[in-house]
Amino acid sequence: MRYGYFDNKNREYVIDRVNTPVPWTNYIGVNDICAVLSQTADGYVFYQSPQYHRITRFRPNAPISRPGHYVYLRDDDTGEYWSISWQPVGKDLTKAKYECRHGLSYSKYRCDYQDISASQTVFIPLNEPVELWDVVLKNNGTRPRRLSVYSYLEFSFHQIDMDNQNFQMSLYASGSSYADGIIEYDLYYEELGYQWFTSSFEPDGFDCLRDSFLGAYRDESNPVAVEKGECSGSFEKTGNHCAVLQKKLVLQPGEDVRLTFLLGEGKREAAVSVRKKYSDPANVDKAFSDLAAFWEEKLGKLQVGTPNQGMNTSLNIWNLYQSEVNILFSRFASFVEVGGRTGLGFRDTSQDAMTIASSNPEKCRKRIVELCRGLTQQGYGLHLFQPEWFDPKLRGKQQSFKSPTVVPTPSREEMIHSIKDACSDDALWLIAAISEYIKETGEVSLLDETVTYADGGEDTVYQHMMRILDFSDKQVGATGICKGLRADWNDCLNLGGGESAMVSFLHYWAIRHFLDLSRFIGKTEETEKYEKMAAKVKKACNDNLWDGEWYIRGITANGRKIGTHNDQEGKVHIESNTWAVFSGVADPDRAVKAMDSVDKYLYTKYGLMLNAPSYTKSDDEIGFVTRVYPGVKENGSIFSHPNPWAWCAEATLGRGDRAMKFYNALLPYNQNDEIEVRQSEPYSYCQFVMGKDHTAFGRARHPFMTGSGGWAYFAATRYLLGVRPDFDCLIVDPCIPKDWSGFDVTRVWRGAAYQIHVENPSGVSKGVKTIELDGKAVSGGIPVQKAGTQHRVKVVMG
Ligand code: IFM
């Protein structure tokens, strides 16, 4: 069963059955202000922080997610009313036609009802803290129509906690007012507590008090003001507030009208000038086309044409979009992660930064510096921290958002965690992010930049990298395998503080990244030191972690091996086996066996499970994972994030058919027509899909806010299609299914554009016979070309 389709030409996903099993969301905005909205316009908007500076309210985890950013329409002759986005009125779907188009940083809602077609496009101009609703109505009938149009949104008390508790204060500290077409909203005690709402027209009515507009014992589906056809003109200092502007219209047959609603940050003065600007539709169009150009520039850096349509759609549009959404705001703003946490998670941010180095080098660099500041002198990262703790320029910003009635988040001093809070993998990911950034941009001088440590002192980025590697070198157990500390990548597999196979493999991978860099910049001394470290780690792994057919997952504090052939539960784990291979620790024989075991024990038609069989008996020596339902999340679900590690591992082995089998199984696009099983958005990777050990096998949960999008993009473009930058050349080293006759990639790298055409005449999966750059043979990678130039690259596999 399907609910929509991919419109690649417009880079939109079109939901033509709007009653999806769960909300299907989109992210609006690319700068300071961000809205998370569903296919029925439910959702919320925040300014910089979803935790401290929400603009509109959201009641999460409810049977219907409310409220949202709605437009009601009313036939003033009959009194009948409906909403453009289907909800909240929720007309009978057999009588009206609704559609939602989720595009890149905008959503467009459409409806057709009784000869009135209407659309509401919600977007946020590139550099203005303003949410804009571009509303168009048309009378397709043969008689004149008298209509009323109403906006609706509900203001927030600015903090997620304030919207959910202790109203004895907030209800009496928030106020609204109306004058000359502008609604103003304020939180009286907050220095930055002002918003406004206005429109391109002179309203015929308004309401600022939610309860006056909705009426007693009613909700957003049947507001009394819409039912009556008249707003009450309410506003007050104290209460719950909303933004309703009403316009009465007469539309002649064939006539259309365009209205703009605007929601923004600041006081009345800001509203006046923004209103003036966007009362001219040409400015609305310009802001919308600037946004399209923003995405065009990003997506244009890498476009693919392969025989796999799902891959093309995902890599060319949705995968990159998801990765950018993760890095632009935070990992914490969705309908599930409702914004109650903010800051940077060390491991997640490092991986997110690594995967968007090509599309967003500026943000990647910014994040690298922020993460270096969140590193301690000992070399471990603060698992979750606020960048403003360490950036004098940002300090004080969150403070001014804070309301007095909520317990403040801990200060920097309180949060300089002791090592017992550290996760063993966190900082290792940063090494790869730095290396990928330099490969992408060539900015080797980043290594010399001086950056502070979280607990005082400062050093170069290069020194930070060595501290990270040295920390993992020292934090080892009796066997020489890295200690798992509080947890490794798998938050729930704690091993009682034992040793983590995955982290030792990751350590090896990070050392390899560093060695490539130290050799490139000619640092002989460090190269020798870390070559020895690499050899030591490799030996410890191969001496202690091999189980015969696969690698174990770890060793508990009591010396018990986890993930062995003797285990009835948690026998095979994806993390250790994929990293053993991708890191280069496993020799070819073991690598093949390990990945064959992954295929044998973990493969399902919806992707690879994290571990199998799932744990059913609680065992605190292994960790919290054993207290998670079988087949769910970290216990045997198809956790999306590690799946691309398996594609990379298979690409390392040159097994393109296997890699593509794994790729296709997880690809949300491939479940577009199976939504009765998947339920969630087919244009976004979800954090996990229920595994075989759960009754809802195949059901996906937690869209957007997961490292899966970034890793899928990184793995597919760099290791399956094999186009990846090195420090001084662009490598083309594909690993594809044997039946692919070839594919094309357009890649912009260091300012030059490469049109890469790959041919596969002998039907191989791996191996490059020849490479030509503009008709001339090159060996190895493609050398750096002058910025602004265009090149043709022909690659023949064989
Ligand atoms: O690795 C973690 C991530 O940091 C947060 N989500 C769950 C993942 C696996 O535990």
Q: What spatial distance separates the first Cα and last Cα of the chain, rounded to whole Å?
A: 41
Question: Would 538 be classed as within a structural domain?
Answer: no
Distance 707 CA to ligand 1 centre (A): 8
CB 125 less than 6 A from any atom of ligand 1: no
What secondary structure, in 3-state letters, does 136-182 show?
EEEECCCCCEEEEEEEECEECCCCCCCCCCCHHHHCCCEEEEEECCE
- Count the Cβ atoms, other than its own, within 10 Å of residue 676: 12
Integer Cα distance of 17 and 682 in angstroms: 14
Question: Would 335 be classed as within a structural domain?
Answer: no
User: Which pLDDT score is estimated for 403?
Assistant: 54
CB 551 less than 6 A from any atom of ligand 1: no
**Strand 256-265 vs strand 241-251: parallel, antiparallel, or unpaired?**
unpaired
Boundary-marking domain end, from 498, 526, 554:
526
**Strand 782-783 vs strand 752-759: parallel, antiparallel, or unpaired?**
unpaired
Are 707 and 759 contained in the same domain? no
SS3 of residue 689 by DSSP = strand
Q: Residues 173, 273: contact at Cβ < 8 Å?
A: no
Q: Residues 256, 136: contact at Cβ < 8 Å?
A: yes
Preceding peptide of 737 cis, ω within 30°: no
Distance 627 CA to ligand 1 centre (A): 16
Integer Cα distance of 224 and 231 in angstroms: 9
In 3D space, the residue among 6, 613, 715 whose CA is nearest the CA of residue 355 turns out to be 715
Q: Residues 763, 738: contact at Cβ < 8 Å?
A: yes
Residue with CA nearest ligand 1 atom 9: 490
CB 644 less than 6 A from any atom of ligand 1: no
Ligand 1, atom nearest to 425 Cα: 1
Boundary-marking domain end, from 683, 698, 715:
715
Ligand 1, atom nearest to 487 Cα: 10
Are 94 and 209 contained in the same domain? yes
User: Which pLDDT score is estimated for 122?
Assistant: 98
Integer Cα distance of 250 and 653 in angstroms: 68
Mutate to test the pocket of ligand 1, among 348, 506, 574 (most ligand atoms within 8 A of CB): 348
Integer Cα distance of 78 and 763 in angstroms: 67
Are 115 and 245 contained in the same domain? yes
What secondary structure, in 3-state letters, does 753-789 show?
EEEEEEECCCCCCECEEEEEECCEEECCCEECCCCCC
In the set 491, 596, 619, 744, the catalytic residue is: 491
In 3D space, the residue among 219, 179, 227 whose CA is nearest the CA of residue 203 turns out to be 179
Integer Cα distance of 675 and 699 in angstroms: 9
CB 491 less than 6 A from any atom of ligand 1: yes
Boundary-marking domain end, from 296, 315, 331:
296
Distance 648 CA to ligand 1 centre (A): 19
Q: Which residues contact 613 (CB under 8 A, 6 or more apart)?
A: 568, 569, 570, 571, 630, 636, 693
Ligand 1, atom nearest to 489 Cα: 1
Integer Cα distance of 263 and 125 in angstroms: 12
CATH number at residue 776: 2.60.420.10
Distance 538 CA to ligand 1 centre (A): 26
What sign results for the dihedral spanned by CA atoms 671, 674, 677, 678?
positive
Are 563 and 474 contained in the same domain? no
Can you read off the two tokens belonging to residue 275?
């209103």
In 3D space, the residue among 585, 586, 635 whose CA is nearest the CA of residue 609 turns out to be 635
Question: Would 318 be classed as within a structural domain?
Answer: no
Ligand 1, atom nearest to 331 Cα: 5
Q: Which residues contact 390 (CB under 8 A, 6 or more apart)?
A: 370, 373, 374, 412, 452, 454
Can you read off the two tokens belonging to residue 476?
């080892």
Q: What angle do CA 336, 339, 341 make, to 5 degrees?
A: 115
CB 331 less than 6 A from any atom of ligand 1: no
The continuous run of DSSP H or E covering 512 comes out as helix 501-520
Integer Cα distance of 757 and 279 in angstroms: 48
CATH number at residue 241: 2.70.98.40
Distance 431 CA to ligand 1 centre (A): 19
**What does each C-alpha distance from 666 to 321, 450, 460 come to in angstroms?**
17, 41, 40
Are 676 and 779 contained in the same domain? no
Ligand 1, atom nearest to 490 Cα: 10
CB 489 less than 6 A from any atom of ligand 1: yes
Can you read off the two tokens belonging to residue 409?
């988040």
Chunked into runs of 10 residues, the chain (798 residues) has average pLDDT values of 98 98 97 96 94 93 95 98 98 97 98 98 96 98 98 95 90 96 93 92 98 98 98 98 98 98 96 98 98 97 98 98 90 90 92 96 97 96 89 61 53 70 95 98 98 95 98 96 96 93 98 98 98 98 98 97 98 98 98 98 98 97 97 98 98 98 98 98 98 98 97 98 98 98 98 98 98 97 98 98
CB 490 less than 6 A from any atom of ligand 1: yes
The continuous run of DSSP H or E covering 434 comes out as helix 428-441
User: Which pLDDT score is estimated for 178?
Assistant: 98
Are 60 and 192 contained in the same domain? yes
Are 563 and 499 contained in the same domain? no
CB 634 less than 6 A from any atom of ligand 1: yes
Ligand 1, atom nearest to 348 Cα: 4
CB 578 less than 6 A from any atom of ligand 1: no
CB 624 less than 6 A from any atom of ligand 1: no
Distance 440 CA to ligand 1 centre (A): 26
Question: Would 470 be classed as within a structural domain?
Answer: yes
The backbone torsions φ and ψ at residue 465, rounded to the nearest 5 degrees and listed phi first, read: -60, -40
Q: Which residue has the tokens 């890699």?
A: 659
Integer Cα distance of 208 and 578 in angstroms: 56
User: Which pLDDT score is estimated for 391?
Assistant: 81
Integer Cα distance of 659 and 715 in angstroms: 10
CATH number at residue 497: 1.50.10.10
Q: Which amino acid is at 21?
A: P
User: 451: left (phi > 0), else alpha (psi -120 to 50), else beta?
Assistant: beta
CB 499 less than 6 A from any atom of ligand 1: no
Distance 58 CA to ligand 1 centre (A): 25
Question: Would 319 be classed as within a structural domain?
Answer: no
- Our answer to whether residue 280 is catalytic in this structure is no
Can you read off the two tokens belonging to residue 641?
């994030």
Please give the residue range of the domain that contains residue 456: 343-526
Question: Would 326 be classed as within a structural domain?
Answer: no
Alpha-carbon radius of gyration of the chain: 27
* DSSP class of 408: P
Q: Residues 69, 41: contact at Cβ < 8 Å?
A: yes
Are 192 and 91 contained in the same domain? yes
Ligand 1, atom nearest to 345 Cα: 4
Are 558 and 448 contained in the same domain? no
In 3D space, the residue among 482, 614, 605, 506 whose CA is nearest the CA of residue 554 turns out to be 482
- Count the Cβ atoms, other than its own, within 10 Å of residue 669: 19
User: Which pLDDT score is estimated for 407?
Assistant: 47
Q: Which residues contact 231 (CB under 8 A, 6 or more apart)?
A: 150, 205, 206, 207, 213, 225, 244, 246
User: Which pLDDT score is estimated for 284?
Assistant: 98
Are 266 and 373 contained in the same domain? no
Are 122 and 196 contained in the same domain? yes
Are 76 and 218 contained in the same domain? yes
Question: Would 533 be classed as within a structural domain?
Answer: no
CB 352 less than 6 A from any atom of ligand 1: no
pTM of structure = 0.97
Distance 341 CA to ligand 1 centre (A): 14
CB 645 less than 6 A from any atom of ligand 1: no
CA–chain centroid gap for 686, Å, is 10
Q: Residues 414, 359: contact at Cβ < 8 Å?
A: no
What is the domain count for the chain? 4
Distance 584 CA to ligand 1 centre (A): 24
**What does each C-alpha distance from 337 to 26, 46, 311, 687 come to in angstroms?**
14, 14, 28, 11
CA–chain centroid gap for 199, Å, is 32
User: Which pLDDT score is estimated for 342?
Assistant: 82
Question: Would 640 be classed as within a structural domain?
Answer: yes
